[in-house]
Chains A and B, each alone.
Chain A
Amino acid sequence: MKILVFLLCFPFCFIAQTEQTKKNSIQLDLGGVGGYAGLHLENKFFQKSNFSLNARFGFSTYKLQDYERKFNPTLILPASFILVYGKKFQFELGTGITFSSFVVNELNEKQRKNAFSLHQILSIRLEKEHWLYKLSFTPMMEKNKRFRPWFGFTVGKKLF
């Protein structure tokens, strides 16, 4: 009987996590590295005391249709590495690259144009129970060496 009870509890020893140990979160940006908005997944892949290193991958779009109203979405895919310091109230410093792909009319033809831009991240982050909130300065260095100061606000939920 004792063995049976132990075996029943055994899996839950691994599934149960505190909020501190949850390494993954899903985040919704307003502004930020995706432009006007974006959806991101963040993973904490390394931690030592109050420092952690996170990887963040996202997706954003401006249009699902092209100028002929055919399904041909704009794709904006940011990827970042972020150094995080703190416990509940944290600072973030990060850098990354954004791939964008969008449809243009060039030489009288519909063409897909791709571009890369670099971005930096400087944020303050608050974690409360299942949730996290961020205010970020996310300047971008786009094609033609154009520097664009930019900002973002993030709400996220911690997952597994």
Chain B
Amino acid sequence: MIKYILLCFILILFSCKKESFNIQNLNGNKIDKLGHAGLGIGDTYPMNSLESILHCLSYDMDGSEFDVQMTKDSVLVLYHDEFLESKTNFKGKINQFTWEELKNVTYTITPHLSYNLVRLQDLFDQVDAKKHTFAFDIKLYPELYSNAYLKTFSNQVYQFISSQNLEDKIMIESQDTSFLNLMEQKNANLKTFFYPPNFDEGLSAILKHGFYGITISVDDISKEQVELAHSNQIFVCLWNTHSKKLNKEAILKNADIIETDKVEYLSKLIP
């Protein structure tokens, strides 16, 4: 009987053992944990809503990524899709309307619930931004965007960041090298992350333009490619971590930053 109890005790002890990882990266061998537009895909809070991001920050997370677009009157708004009708009760594109026209727009993706579209300023009015890291995923959706449009957008983003003294806390992600170059011209110390179609193109562009890092799906990069990026002093941000397995995979690949859809899980998995 005593042997049986002892065996059970030993089994319980070892089953509760916390998983540990030997992380080797450019980020002081620790991984910054960011939510993917808040709590990520699949939550009843819409991605990029204030409630989703605040809920993410209530966990032991370093911050959150979110999608940034610009209205017709140059207000920065958090929204992912090209068209408003895919997730809200409005129709058209963000850049076709002023904020006054968009301020009552609500998300309608979950039955019986509605949450407001939110400005970037509304989020930062509620968080102690210096305690977190935020990633701005810049969405450029006009049919044809001109240099003037890019310049206005980059001016608005930089004005916002500098007004909050957050130059070292914000990551700027974009698929457009011109936009990232415009940001770097304003401040060479900004953390610019290129979002490429594949790793090889990404590496080439980053080395050419001198960007800070690469942001890429965990499925589109190998551990060896992460090592190659690190050997070139390029920070690696991995996303599309929508399962426990993919979160672990991102850690084992030695990412510097993970943007996760499993916020609660990742917040407990690594310190």
Q: CA A146 – CA B108 in complex, angstroms?
A: 9
Residues in chain A near residue B126, CB distance under 8 A: 105, 108
Residue A154 is within 8 A (CB to CB) of chain B in the complex? no
A100 to B113, CA, bound (A): 7
**Within the complex, which residue of B45, B89, B115 is in contact with A144, where a contact is CB–CB below 8 Å?**
B89
Asked if A104 and B112 sit within 8 Å, CB to CB, the answer is no
Measured between beta carbons, the chain B residues less than 8 angstroms from A140 are: 111-112
Most buried by B among A106, A140, A144: A144
Given A63-B44, A67-B45, are A142 and B112 also a contact pair (CB < 8 Å)? yes
A106 to B106, CA, bound (A): 12
| Contact call A100/B50, Cβ cutoff below 8 A | no
Among B50, B114, B116, which residue has the most Cβ atoms of chain A within 10 A? B114
Residue numbers in A under 8 Å from B51 (CB-CB): 66-67, 103-105
| A62 B116 Cβ-Cβ under 8 A | no
Is B128 in the interface zone, CB < 8 Å from A?
no
Find out whether the CB atom of B116 lies under 8 angstroms from the CB atom of A74: no
Instruction: List chain B residues, Cβ under 8 A from A63.
Output: 44
B125 touches A108 (CB 8 A): yes
Count of residues in B whose CB is under 8 Å from the partner chain: 22
Q: When the two chains form the complex, which single residue of A69, A113, A142, A143 contacts B58, counting CB atoms closer than 8 Å?
A: A69
- Please tell me if the beta carbons of B111 and A150 are within 8 angstroms of each other in the complex: yes
Beta-carbon contact of B55 and A67 below 8 Å: yes
Known A74-B113, A100-B112: A62·B44 in contact at CB below 8 Å: yes
Cβ of B106: which chain A residues have Cβ within 8 Å of it?
A: 144
A135 at the interface (CB under 8 A from B): no
Cβ contacts under 8 Å, B54 to chain A: 67-68, 105
Residues A62 and B110 in contact, CB atoms below 8 Å apart: yes
| B113 with A62: CB separation less than 8 A | yes
Which residues on A sit within 8 Å (CB–CB) of B122?
108
Nearest B residue to A69, CB-CB: B58
Shortest Cβ distance from residue B87 to the other chain A in the assembled complex, whole angstroms: 12
For A103, the chain B residues whose CB sits under 8 A away are: 51
Taking a contact as CB atoms under 8 Å apart, the answer to whether B110 and A104 are in contact is no
* A155 shortest CB reach to chain B, Å: 20
Proximity string of chain A (134-156) to chain B, C-beta cutoff 8 Å, 1 when within and 0 when not: 00000010111010101000000
The reply to whether B89 and A148 form a contact with Cβ atoms under 8 Å apart is no
Whether A36 sits at the interface, judged by CB under 8 Å, is yes
Which residues of chain B have C-beta atoms less than 8 A from A144's C-beta? 89, 106, 108, 114
The 8 Å CB contact of B112, one of A35, A66, A105, is A35
A102 within 8 Å of B by Cβ?
Answer: yes
Closest to B52 in A: A67
Query: How many whole Å from A24's CB to the nearest CB in chain B?
Result: 26
B112 cross-chain contacts in A, Cβ below 8 A: 35, 76, 98, 100, 102, 115, 117, 140, 142
B117 CB, min distance to chain A CBs, angstroms: 12
Among A115, A143, A150: residue with most chain B CB under 10 A: A143
* Complex alpha-carbon distance, A143 and B126, angstroms: 28
What B residues does A115 contact at CB under 8 A?
112, 114
> Could you list which residues of chain B lie within 8 angstroms of chain A, going by C-beta atoms?
44-45, 50-52, 54-55, 58-59, 89, 106, 108, 110-116, 122, 125-126
**10 sample A-B contacts, Cβ–Cβ < 8 Å, listed by A number:** A62-B44, A67-B55, A69-B55, A69-B58, A98-B112, A100-B112, A104-B115, A104-B116, A115-B112, A146-B108
